[in-house]
Each structure stands twice: as C-alpha cells, then as structure tokens.
C-alpha cells in the first residue's frame, strides 16, 4: 500500500453492538449511529442519569479504535472484555481513494470473548447497498477459551495493510490547528474529569509536547502537573515553532471560550514559560480559570492540536462544571464544528435536561445529521 496514493475520505460510525459489558447484560444492545434518513450521524448524543452506561460505551469505543495499528494485544483494558464474557462490534463506514479508485466498505472492529468466525452483527448485500458500501471487512482481537487474545484474521490483505499503515504513521507531523489535511482517522476522547492543574515542575524548557503528532487515539482527562503534559507547554511549543498555529489557537479560544467577556487568552510569557490570561487588566495563569472555563479551554486546544480531516470526537459529560448558559454555548459550538468539518463525527454524553432539550432530536438542522439514545431502564430510542 503506497502512502501517497492512499487517502481516507470518510470514517463514520454506523452501529455499535454490545454484549455483557457493564450494565448492558442479558441481550445484545445495539446503538444505531445513523439519522432518520439512514445517513451516518455527524452529531450523536447519549443521554441518561449517572450510572446507566454512557461512560462505558465511550470507553469501549476508544478501546476498540486503539486496536488499530497493533500486531498483538496482552489485554483490552476493559474489565468486561479482559475478565468477563464481554464482546462488542463497532461498524464504521470507511471511504477510501486508492490510486484514484474510490471504494466504500463497512469496516467492523470486533473485540472480546467471541468465537472464531462469529460476529454480533452480519451485514447482508441489501444492508451494504443501503448504507453505500460495496463490501464488509473485519478487524480486531478475540479472547479464546484458553484466555489468549488472538488476532481476527481476514483473507483480504488490505485490512491488515491498512492497520500497518496507521501504525507506521504514528507521530507524523500535523501542519494545521483544526482540520489538518492528514486523512488518517483519529479518535479524541475527553473524559468527564477535565481540569487544568498547577504545574508542579520548576524546570521548564521548550520541548515537544507529550503525544505530539498523529495518533490513532488520544485520551484527555486532568491536564498533568508534568510540564510535557501541560497545556502551557502546548501553547509555548506552538509559539516557538512559529507556523501560524499559535495565532490561530488564540483566535479560536478567544472566540469560543471568552467571547463577550473582559477576559482573553493573551499569549505566553518567557519567564516562567506559561500561558497568560488577561482579565480586566490583570494577568493570571490558565489553572486559575473557573472549572467551566478550564473544561472548554482544554477541549478547544487539544481538539485543535490533534484532529485530522477524519476525526471521531468523544466527550463524556459535556455539561460538567457548566451552568445553563455555557451548556448552550458548548452545544452550539459543537454543532457549528460538525457543520464546518465534513470529516468530524461528535459523540457526546450528558445527563443535562437543558442539553437534551436544546439538542432537539426531532428538529432537522441544515448541515447536521443527528440522532441519539436515551439510556433508561428500557433504553428507549430518542
């Protein structure tokens, strides 16, 4: 597979099937990521009270995406898959352009305690045709009766070549802030525990941020106290490489996070090297922002630094630390992002009735293909 002749033109989830994982027991649970017209969603909302399984599903999707680019697995990293009888299948509509030839496939990621040759969801010819795919391919890892984790092989070598290609491209330099032209798919996962903590290290130098460049999966939670894991280091690095991304990052943050306030991300100082917030003429560090501001700032900066032209964005508890006005702000911002970037798929979770009402499942919006799931005792579809 020649890298310069291979481009991913679409990487869009269409269905997740789950069995015996977390609260999803006793039957196959199926989550349909298509809208009322059968098109893959660009914005999907998981809604429920706490403890119903929203985070379980997001963790699972990140785990399954992370199987790509791997020759072997020692563990899945999810207890139900590693120690229980859990299994899952995540079906993705994959569009490619190889040597000028365009093709579309259902690309099924499979994980867990599943027999050889077994799948949780079979795709027949009519279903493939309806979704716009010409063939169905499998990739993943299954846990055998002996406890060993084995690769799910397919006779079509293209699938393995695709995984190897992604593996070899890890760390490749991205050139843009938001919507980089690199077409390889990536998944960005923001946990509910978003925070920016005070950097504990006194020694700081201009150095490559942890996780810089292309990665198949990026996970973000609390911004570490270590310098290389910090947003301060990211901003200092963007300033130092001086390729326009620093200025763009400031403009985007100030538009989305601080618009309408006497507060803005001013830049970075040299000594000590750190980001500066100006608030009504006074300067302070980014770790001194409010919890809601820190949550929005983290999503904005990390997303811009790591997204490619085919990105799956997972945000757990998107409303955490946000009062009603800011809940509407992040929802509208994400809707705008889904419209602006054709290769972006957003899957977020919430327990906020404010978000659920404002998402307006029943209302069609230009440029949006939306749907979701209300996880209750009987898991009624929204």
pLDDT at 304: 98
Look at residue 49 and tell me if it is in a domain: yes
pLDDT at 382: 42
Q: State whether 328 and 282 are in the same domain.
A: no
Total domain count for the chain? 2
Q: State whether 237 and 332 are in the same domain.
A: no
Q: For the residues 254-280, what does the mean pLDDT come to?
A: 94
**DSSP 8-state code for residue 227:** G
User: Helix 324-340 and helix 291-306: axis angle, to 10°?
Assistant: 10
Q: For the residues 44-70, what does the mean pLDDT come to?
A: 93
Q: State whether 119 and 73 are in the same domain.
A: yes
Domain limits for position 212:
190-295
pLDDT at 1: 55
Q: For the residues 348-354, what does the mean pLDDT come to?
A: 93
Residue appearing with tokens 């919430």: 350
Q: Answer whether residue 377 shows pLDDT above 50.
A: no
Q: State whether 90 and 150 are in the same domain.
A: yes
Q: State whether 56 and 150 are in the same domain.
A: yes
pTM of this prediction? 0.95
Q: State whether 243 and 340 are in the same domain.
A: no
Look at residue 185 and tell me if it is in a domain: no
Look at residue 258 and tell me if it is in a domain: yes
Q: Answer whether residue 2 shows pLDDT above 70.
A: no
Q: State whether 20 and 110 are in the same domain.
A: yes
Q: What is the pLDDT of residues 83-133, one digit of tens each?
A: 999 999 999 999 999 888 999 999 999 999 998 889 999 999 999 999 999
Look at residue 367 and tell me if it is in a domain: yes
Q: State whether 155 and 64 are in the same domain.
A: yes
User: Which among 265, 295, 325 is the end of a domain?
Assistant: 295
pLDDT at 379: 36
pLDDT at 149: 94
Convert 310-334 into a string of H (helix), E (strand) and C (coil): CEEEEECCCCCCCCHHHHHHHHHHH
Q: For the residues 3-29, what does the mean pLDDT come to?
A: 91
Q: Answer whether residue 325 shows pLDDT above 50.
A: yes
Q: For the residues 261-276, what does the mean pLDDT come to?
A: 94
User: Which among 263, 295, 327 is the end of a domain?
Assistant: 295
What does the alpha-carbon distance between residue 305 and residue 176 come to, in Å, rounded to a whole number? 8
Q: State whether 150 and 22 are in the same domain.
A: yes
Q: For the residues 191-206, what does the mean pLDDT come to?
A: 90
Give yes or no for a contact between 310 and 343, defined as CB atoms under 8 angstroms apart. Answer: yes
**48-57, 66-75, 309-318, 351-360: range with lowest mean pLDDT:** 48-57
pLDDT at 3: 60
Q: Answer whether residue 380 shows pLDDT above 50.
A: no
Question: Cβ contacts of residue 18 below 8 Å, gap of 6+?
Answer: 24, 28, 29, 30, 31, 57, 60, 86, 88
Q: For the residues 307-332, what does the mean pLDDT come to?
A: 94
Look at residue 162 and tell me if it is in a domain: yes
Q: Answer whether residue 134 shows pLDDT above 50.
A: yes
Look at residue 331 and tell me if it is in a domain: yes
CATH of the domain at 365: 3.40.50
Q: Answer whether residue 344 shows pLDDT above 70.
A: yes
What are the strands of the beta sheet with 149-152, ordered from one edge? 29-32, 6-19, 87-98, 101-112, 135-143, 149-152
Longest dimension (CA), the chain: 65
| Pair of tokens at residue 43 | 């914005």
Look at residue 362 and tell me if it is in a domain: yes
pLDDT at 179: 78
Q: For the residues 214-227, what does the mean pLDDT come to?
A: 92
Of the pLDDT bands very low, low, confident and very high (cuts 50, 70, 90), residue 183 is very high
Mean pLDDT of the chain, nearest integer: 92
């Amino acid at each position: 597979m020649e890298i310069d002749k291979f481009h991913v033109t679409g990487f869009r989830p269409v269905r997740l099937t789950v069995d015996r994982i977390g609260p999803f027991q006793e039957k196959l649970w199926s989550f349909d990521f298509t809208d009322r017209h059968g098109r893959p969603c660009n914005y999907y909302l998981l809604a429920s009270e706490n403890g119903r399984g929203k985070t379980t599903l997001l963790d699972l999707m990140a785990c399954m995406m992370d199987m790509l680019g791997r020759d072997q697995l020692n563990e899945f990293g999810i207890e139900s898959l590693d120690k229980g009888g859990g299994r899952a299948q995540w079906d993705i509509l994959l569009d490619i352009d190889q040597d000028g030839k365009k093709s579309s496939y259902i690309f099924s990621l499979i994980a867990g305690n599943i027999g050889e040759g077994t799948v949780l969801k079979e795709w027949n010819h009519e279903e493939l045709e309806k979704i716009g795919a010409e063939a169905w391919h499998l990739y993943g890892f299954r846990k055998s009766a002996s406890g060993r984790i084995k690769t799910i092989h397919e006779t079509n070598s293209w699938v393995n070549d695709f995984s190897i290609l992604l593996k070899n491209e890890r760390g490749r330099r991205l050139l843009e802030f938001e919507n980089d032209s690199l077409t390889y798919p990536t998944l960005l996962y923001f946990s509910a525990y978003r925070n920016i903590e005070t950097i504990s290290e006194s020694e700081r130098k201009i150095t490559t941020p942890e996780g810089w460049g292309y990665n198949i999966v990026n996970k973000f939670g609390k911004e570490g106290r270590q310098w290389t894991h910090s947003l301060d280091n990211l901003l200092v690095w963007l300033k130092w490489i001086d390729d326009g991304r620093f200025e763009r990052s400031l403009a985007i943050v100030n538009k989305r996070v601080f618009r309408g306030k006497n507060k803005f991300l001013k830049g970075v100082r040299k000594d000590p090297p750190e980001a500066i917030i100006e608030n009504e003429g006074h300067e302070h560090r980014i770790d001194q922002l409010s919890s809601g501001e820190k949550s929005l700032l983290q999503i904005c900066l990390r997303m811009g630094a790591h997204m490619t032209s085919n990105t799956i964005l997972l945000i757990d508890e998107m409303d955490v630390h946000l009062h009603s006005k800011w809940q509407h702000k992040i929802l509208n911002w994400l809707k705008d992002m889904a419209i602006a970037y054709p290769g972006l798929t957003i899957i977020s979770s919430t327990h906020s009735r404010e978000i659920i009402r404002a998402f307006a499942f029943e209302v069609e919006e230009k440029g949006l293909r939306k749907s979701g799931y209300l996880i209750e005792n009987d898991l009624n579809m929204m």
